Amino acid sequence: MATSLKSRDTNQVLYLYGVSRAGEGIVPDVVGVDAAAEVEAVPCAGLVCWASRVNKTEFADNLARNMENLEWLAEVSVRHQQAVAAIAASRDILPARFGTVFRNSSSLAAHVEKHKAHLTRDLKRISGCEEWGVKVFHVRAQAQAAAAAKSGREYLRARAAALHEQAPPPADAEVQRLLCALEEVAAETAPGSGVVSRGQRGLLWQGSLLVKRLQRDQLQQLMGRFSRDWEGARRIELSGPWPPYSFVSRGPEPEASRG
C-alpha cells in the first residue's frame, strides 16, 4: 500500500520508525503510533524507511503539548516501541527517535539521503544484534524493618526512612565483576543514561548491551549465574530483547532551518 503514502492530504504527515537495508524479510503487519494507519516500507536512497501516516495536528503541530500529557505519551511511546519491535523481529533496523515526522515521502527521502553514510555505518554495527537492558538493584533491609515494626507509628517511621534514603551504596566490586563478564558476551555495552528510570529505588547500576542474537543463551546463563550468587544481596532485572535503540549514533548536528 505504498501508494497511500504518496497521496497529498495536507493534514497528514509521515511518522518514521526506523531505517533498514533494502530487500530483507517480509513486511510485518503492524499498526502505527496513531493506532489506525499501518506501518509501510518506503524505499529511500537505497535503504528502506518504515513509516506510517499520522495526523499533522496531533503529531507535528501539537507534538510538544501532547508529550506533556502523560496518558498520550504512554500510549504513543508504547505503540512506537511495538512497531519498531515488530519490524526488528524480521530484520536489522535502526530505530528512529520518537517524534521524527516528515512532510511527505520526498522530504523523507531527501533527509535520509543526506544521512546515508552514518545510517549505513550504524546498520553494519548492529547487524545481527539485539539490545538487552540490565539493571542491578540493591536488596534493602528497610522493608523488613517496616514489617517488623510493633506500632503504626514505628511502621510509618521505618517506611519514611526507607523512602528518604536517597542513594543506594555505590556500585561495588561485585557489580564490576558482572560488567567484566558481560563484556565477554556482548558485542558492545553502553552505560545507562535512562533519566526516567534512574529514580527507581535501590538502583545500583543500569546499562544496555548489544548482543548477537546467537549469543542470547550465553547472556541468560550468565544472568542466571549472577542471580544465584547474589541472592538476598542484589537483584538483577533483565529486559529485552529491544531493538538496538542505545547503539545508534545521534548523527550530525542539525541545520538551523526547519523545512
Partner 1 sequence: MADNDLLAGMAEREEVSLLDILDHVLNSGVVIHGSLVISLAGVDLIYLGLNVVLTSVETALQHMRLEQLPTTRR
Q: Is 53 helix (H, G, I), strand (E, B) or coil?
A: strand
Q: Based on CB atoms, which residue is closest to partner 1, 82 or 142?
A: 82
Binding mask 2-21 for partner 1 (x = CB under 8 A): -----------x--x-xx--
Residue from 91, 115, 140, 212 binding partner 1 (CB under 8 A): 115
> Which 8-state DSSP code applies to residue 38?
B
Positions 18 through 47 that interact with partner 1 (CB under 8 A): 18-19, 29-31, 35, 38
504518496: which residue's cell? Answer: 6
Q: Based on CB atoms, which residue is closest to partner 1, 122 or 158?
A: 122
Q: How far apart are the first and last CA of the chain?
A: 26
Q: Are 11 and 54 in contact (CB under 8 A)?
A: no
Q: Based on CB atoms, which residue is closest to partner 1, 144 or 201?
A: 201
Binding mask 59-78 for partner 1 (x = CB under 8 A): -x--xx--xx-x--xxx-xx
503492524: which residue's cell? Answer: 30
Q: Are 185 and 222 in contact (CB under 8 A)?
A: yes
Q: How far is the CB of 54 from partner 1 (least distance, A)?
A: 12
Q: Based on CB atoms, which residue is closest to partner 1, 150 or 256?
A: 256
Q: How far is the CB of 179 from partner 1 (least distance, A)?
A: 18
Residue from 21, 53, 80, 138 binding partner 1 (CB under 8 A): 80
Q: Based on CB atoms, which residue is closest to partner 1, 102 or 205?
A: 102
Q: Based on CB atoms, which residue is closest to partner 1, 27 or 63?
A: 63
Q: Mind giving me the DSSP string for 180-193?
A: HHHHHH-SEEEE--
Determine the interface stretch with partner 1 among 1-9, 108-116, 140-148, 177-185 (rule: CB under 8 A). Answer: 108-116
Q: Which of 64, 65, 40, 44 is nearest to 54 (CA)?
A: 40
Positions 123 through 182 that interact with partner 1 (CB under 8 A): 133
The overall longest dimension of the chain from CA atoms, in Å, is 70
| Total of residues contacting partner 1 (CB under 8 A) | 73
Question: Do you know the residue count of the chain?
Answer: 259
Grid coordinates in use for 49? 524507511
Long-range contacts of 140-148 (CB under 8 A, 24+ apart): 140/201, 140/202
Grid coordinates in use for 215? 549469543
In whole angstroms, what separates CA 45 from the centre of its chain?
26
Q: Based on CB atoms, which residue is closest to partner 1, 128 or 251?
A: 251
Positions 218 through 237 that interact with partner 1 (CB under 8 A): 220-221, 223-225, 227-228, 231, 236
